[in-house]
Structure 1
Amino acid sequence: MRPSIKGFNNIKLRNKLIIMYIFCVFVPIILTNVIFYNVTIDNIKNQKEHDMDLVLEQITGEFISAVDQAIGISAAFYTDTRFYDFFETDYDTVIEYIENYEIYMRDYNNYTPLYYSIQGITFYTDNPSVIYAGGISPITEDTREYEWYKELAEVSHPILVNENEVFSVIRELDYYTNRDDMDIIVQIKLNPVHLRQIFNNVTFQGHVYLLNDDKEIEYSNNDTVNWQEDLIKFDEIEKGTDTIFLEEKQLPHNYLENWKVVGTVSEAEIYEELYHSRRFIITLASINFLFPTLIIIFISRSLHVRIARILRHMKKMKKQNFETIDYYGDKDEIGELTNEFNKMANTIKTLINEVYVANIQKKDLELKEKQAQLSALLSQINPHFLFNALETIRVRSLMKDETETAKIIQNMAKIFRNSLTWDKEWVTVREELNLIICFLEIQKYRFGDKLEYEFDIDDAAYDCLIPNMAFLPFVENASVHGIESVKEKGNIHIKIQCTDDEILFTIRDNGGGMSKDKLDDIMESLKNEESMGENVGIKNVYYRLQLYYKTEFDFNIESSLGNGTKVEIKLKSQRK
């Protein structure tokens, strides 16, 4: 019996149950709930951040869409020759200007009601003959001092400017380079209400900042930052320690180069749902803790109390006090143990008081009687007497020059001597072959020229160990059941091959063979481990091979009527 691990078997059952409760219930429940709580926090945080990131992408996309609408309108003006014709014409009279205005400019006013993101469109020109009204303004010296005018002169693409919370797309109409008589600029103002709706998305629970290429705040929904009056660096604004920065969204166009939309959110906003569910989680954890605890306490008490009671009565039994335990008909293992203990106590008491001494005397008499019978049986036949008698006959035959008879008697003596040493479990292949040769010589003496046999043995096989008489029964079957049943000359071929790991025994005869049904019956009886009955030799060998090699051997029989029989046995190679 293996010793107890670090004295664990010396711990009382109650303490073992407490240890089991701590490590199998208390600690797992605490760890499970802590892990569940932390995983829930992480999942909610990740989900919230993902949701807010999607909202931030939506805000960015809507802002870019609004700007793109203005850019698209400016592109329509940029390539429309009618506007160039209108603004570069030198008008002599007001009537002429108004007529051309109705012809060329009446359609552009449709853009404002068509696009909600557009607040208005203004054209700037230095043509003195136009009337500066109806969305047309002059390019004056003051105009040329504007920052956007200077920036526009340095680039060849539209620019986005922010003036008093109103974003505008401004573009110079200079597509046709051969028509540079007049300066023409179009300013498309974005609807500030629409922008406010974009950046104050109700599904975004944090703050959104539109930053220019200098990381200055151009627009934000954070009312605590005074970005309207002066440009403020984003890095300079005050942020809480629990602020989470979402992934920055770069604006793609060259006129918005290095502009980005940045979102921030407080962890308190993200964990708000979790805080609402905290009481539920705590309640659920308490239930998970309380009910298993009560159940285990009840079960452990049931086990400990009843086992301790059995132990007390067993200690009393040591003092020959065979008092039984009160049994209430419990059907579990401890209840059955209690019931069996009571039966055992009553039985022992009965045996000691009534039967024990008488039975001991009776068994002693029976044992002596059996020993006497065995001695008488052994004295009837002495195997050594038979062996000595055969040896005497062999010597007398040699004295009379009957060498063939003497040799056969010698072979029979060898076989008989082997039967006297049946307790020798393992023999070499050489020893087994000597026994086989003795048997075949006897059979050849019987059959004469009708029987021929041949051997094909690897030199390496002679010293291999095999179970005693593992091959001989099959040689006997080949001779008796195979060769005797045919009239023509019989041949038995025995082949033993040996490798480093395996030894293969093959015996083949040209006898009468057997039908497929009979072969199937033999193999089925071997698999089902039936009683000996018929085919004793085959079953004896097969069951002994199972005993020695378990499943690490191969056994196969091939046979058909009129074509002889082939037996193959493959064993693990063993040497002395």
Structure 2
Amino acid sequence: MKVIIQSFNNLKMRNKFLIVYLLSVLLPIIVTNSAFYIMTNNRFVEQKKTDIELVLNQTKQDFANLTDQAIGLATTLYLDVRLYSFFDRDYPSPIEYIESYNQVIRQYNMSAPLYNAVRNVTFFTDNPTVLGGGGVENLTEPEFDHLGETGHPHAYIDMNHDLDDDISLSVYSALDYFYLYNTYDNYIRIDINPHALRQVFNNVTLQGDLYLLNQDRAIVYSNNQLLKYREGETFFSEADFSREYIILETVLHDQLLEGWSIVAVVDSTEFTSELIESSQLIIILSFFNIILPTLVIVYISRTFHVRLDSILGHMKNIEKHNFEEYPHAKSEDEIGQLARQINRMTRQINKLFNEVFRTNIEKKDLEIKSKQAQLSALQSQINPHFLFNALETIRMRSLMKDEIETAKIIQNMAGIFRNSLTWGRDWVSIEEEVSLIKSFLEIQAYRFGDKLNYSVEVDPDVKDIKIPNLAFLPFVENASIHGIEPLKEQGSIHISIYRDDDQLIFLITDNGVGISPERLAIIERQLENEQDMGESVGIQNVYYRLKLYYKDSFDFKISTEINQGTTVKIRLPIEFYRI
């Protein structure tokens, strides 16, 4: 979690606003509107299915009412004993048959039009004395044999393929209720009115097609004009319906229509336009819910970004020591307060710069000039007493010895004077510093004779390393003058310059008179206090110069004992300057 927060804090303000907008505005709006749109579509589809089911139920009810009339008429005829008596009788002459026909059959033919669901009633008999015509036909083919297979002994509804109408649905019934009249086989066929049947299936508000299926799933009737079900038995499963069709079915529960059903097939694309119209409001609201917040967020984030970027650029100018005030600090929000605080800080920095920084520069300049004066004093100091004694010695020896030795001493003195004259060089190589040290020691050895013994060891790998000019010579001078010269016996000075990893080591050891603890404490106190220039001007000046160049990266240490000698060890970083 901390990693996520840190990563978020590292983002620019504009990107943060974008993330907040995406997670808090855009994503919820898209999810909410999408869910609402899906729910609306689902409810729309469910409502359409409900409407289709209502149409199916209404069609089922109308069709049941239509078939009930035909079945009711068939039941009435089935229970009429006069029909049994009429068809079971042998007529000796056509006149007697016609008289009996007018009394029985004609009466039924006259009452049949009272049923709007009935087209006509036809009687079939195998009685040879019955004359055909007038709604009575001779039974010559076994077209009613299937009645015994239906499980409905008194009636059966099926398609009548003898009729030429676009729909031919008939109710069949055998006249076998009264067993006393069983001389002949007699049947009734009641043809349902095709016009009434068409009204049942066509006078509905449905954006699709209705199909009447029998128990074998064959299409009995459909208001689909493109379907050629009349040309032969066509099964519903043979129709081509894609996934975009909504198919709902209701089963007819009448005993004579067992297994029959009415199916509604609706192409969902038919009400796509309605769905689009109902979804337009959602789309318009979604548009405003997305576009308007987006414009607002973009505008606000841009104002924040531009103002913060301007303040950041001003801060970079302050970093470059351009202490001008930020001009756009009039707003009252947090950014305006930040800008005003930056201006207060800028004014304070200007004040500090003018009052403190420049004062410190002047103070440092005075200190540098003071150090330069001290250094110049040290430079001009090379101990006049030493020079006087050296010159006096050279004068006395030149009277007693040959000129070669005198020339050597003069050459060494010339080297020292030459280095004094070229004091402007701040950095010299170890090799140059050692050459000056050797010249000094040769002069001292010339002065003291056998009283001074010295050795100089220099690591060849460090001869090209640069050090401050006269960084080591003052310690050699102190060792010879203050350490060895007061001795009555022979004195020795050993100098070693070598490398220790990335450090340069200068080590000088003498067996002189040493330094008293009190005197050593005074020297150490003078080294800590830059303002106190005591008698040890040479050591103190070298120490200050090393501190000026190396800061805290060098180490200086004096070890001494009375009448045992003194050791000075200086440690400098090697990689500071190199030739």
* d(CA) in 1 for partners of 2:80, 2:95: 23
Indicate the residue corresponding to 1:159 in structure 2.
156
Indicate the residue corresponding to 1:255 in structure 2.
256
Indicate the residue corresponding to 2:485 in structure 1.
none
Structure 2 vs 1, CA of residues 4 and 244 (structure 1 numbering), >3 Å: closer, same or farther?
closer
Decide whether the 8 Å contact of 1:170 with 1:186 is kept in 2.
Answer: yes
* d(CA) in 1 for partners of 2:170, 2:205: 27
The alpha-carbon deviation at position 231 of structure 1 amounts to 0.9
Q: Tell me which amino acid in the other structure corresponds to 1:255.
A: L
Structure 2 vs 1, CA of residues 336 and 188 (structure 1 numbering), >3 Å: closer, same or farther?
farther
**Structure 1 residues 32-47: aligned runs within 5 Å:** 32-47=32-47
Decide whether the 8 Å contact of 2:323 with 2:349 is kept in 1.
Answer: no
* d(CA) in 2 for partners of 1:344, 1:99: 132
* d(CA) in 1 for partners of 2:210, 2:20: 54
**Structure 1 residues 192-271: aligned runs within 5 Å:** 192-237=194-239, 239-244=240-245, 246-271=247-272
Q: Tell me which amino acid in the other structure corresponds to 2:264.
A: G
Q: Tell me which amino acid in the other structure corresponds to 2:68.
A: D
Query: Any idea what SS the aligned residue of 2:295 has?
Result: helix
2:62 is the alignment partner of 1:62: yes
The alpha-carbon deviation at position 172 of structure 1 amounts to 0.8
What's the % identity of the aligned pairs?
40
Structure 2 vs 1, CA of residues 190 and 333 (structure 1 numbering), >3 Å: closer, same or farther?
farther
* d(CA) in 1 for partners of 2:349, 2:3: 31
The alpha-carbon deviation at position 343 of structure 1 amounts to 7.9
* d(CA) in 2 for partners of 1:110, 1:29: 73
Structure 2 vs 1, CA of residues 94 and 157 (structure 1 numbering), >3 Å: closer, same or farther?
closer
**Structure 1 residues 179-198: aligned runs within 5 Å:** 179-198=181-200
Q: Scaled by the length of structure 1, what TM-score is found? A: 0.51
Query: Any idea what SS the aligned residue of 1:175 has?
Result: coil
Indicate the residue corresponding to 1:382 in structure 2.
none
Indicate the residue corresponding to 1:48 in structure 2.
48
Decide whether the 8 Å contact of 1:160 with 1:169 is kept in 2.
Answer: yes
Q: Scaled by the length of structure 2, what TM-score is found? A: 0.51
Structure 2 vs 1, CA of residues 110 and 336 (structure 1 numbering), >3 Å: closer, same or farther?
farther
**Structure 1 residues 448-459: aligned runs within 5 Å:** none
**Structure 1 residues 503-522: aligned runs within 5 Å:** none
Indicate the residue corresponding to 2:573 in structure 1.
none
Note the residue ranges of structure 1 that are not aligned, 5 or more in a row: 355-576
Structure 2 vs 1, CA of residues 298 and 87 (structure 1 numbering), >3 Å: closer, same or farther?
same
CA deviations over 1:412-440 (Å, ceiling 9, x no partner): xxxxxxxxxxxxxxxxxxxxxxxxxxxxx
CA deviations over 1:48-69 (Å, ceiling 9, x no partner): 2332233233333322332222
Structure 2 vs 1, CA of residues 96 and 346 (structure 1 numbering), >3 Å: closer, same or farther?
farther
Decide whether the 8 Å contact of 1:170 with 1:187 is kept in 2.
Answer: yes
* d(CA) in 1 for partners of 2:262, 2:328: 82
Decide whether the 8 Å contact of 2:132 with 2:138 is kept in 1.
Answer: no
Structure 2 vs 1, CA of residues 102 and 240 (structure 1 numbering), >3 Å: closer, same or farther?
closer
Q: Which has the larger radius of gyration?
A: 2
Note the residue ranges of structure 2 that are not aligned, 5 or more in a row: 162-166, 356-579
Structure 2 vs 1, CA of residues 275 and 349 (structure 1 numbering), >3 Å: closer, same or farther?
same
CA deviations over 1:428-468 (Å, ceiling 9, x no partner): xxxxxxxxxxxxxxxxxxxxxxxxxxxxxxxxxxxxxxxxx
Q: Tell me which amino acid in the other structure corresponds to 1:121.
A: V
Decide whether the 8 Å contact of 1:123 with 1:185 is kept in 2.
Answer: yes
Structure 2 vs 1, CA of residues 327 and 115 (structure 1 numbering), >3 Å: closer, same or farther?
farther
Indicate the residue corresponding to 2:145 in structure 1.
150
The alpha-carbon deviation at position 321 of structure 1 amounts to 4.8
Structure 2 vs 1, CA of residues 121 and 326 (structure 1 numbering), >3 Å: closer, same or farther?
same
Query: Any idea what SS the aligned residue of 2:113 has?
Result: helix
Structure 2 vs 1, CA of residues 153 and 312 (structure 1 numbering), >3 Å: closer, same or farther?
closer
The alpha-carbon deviation at position 96 of structure 1 amounts to 5.7
Indicate the residue corresponding to 2:137 in structure 1.
138
Decide whether the 8 Å contact of 1:63 with 1:198 is kept in 2.
Answer: yes
* d(CA) in 2 for partners of 1:111, 1:333: 98
The alpha-carbon deviation at position 286 of structure 1 amounts to 3.6
Q: How many residues align?
A: 347
Structure 2 vs 1, CA of residues 30 and 76 (structure 1 numbering), >3 Å: closer, same or farther?
same
Structure 2 vs 1, CA of residues 340 and 85 (structure 1 numbering), >3 Å: closer, same or farther?
farther
* d(CA) in 2 for partners of 1:154, 1:278: 55
Decide whether the 8 Å contact of 1:248 with 1:261 is kept in 2.
Answer: yes
Structure 2 vs 1, CA of residues 320 and 275 (structure 1 numbering), >3 Å: closer, same or farther?
closer
Structure 2 vs 1, CA of residues 353 and 231 (structure 1 numbering), >3 Å: closer, same or farther?
same
Over aligned residue pairs, what C-alpha RMSD do you find?
4.0
Q: Tell me which amino acid in the other structure corresponds to 1:158.
A: A
Structure 2 vs 1, CA of residues 138 and 16 (structure 1 numbering), >3 Å: closer, same or farther?
same
The alpha-carbon deviation at position 44 of structure 1 amounts to 3.0
The alpha-carbon deviation at position 123 of structure 1 amounts to 1.9
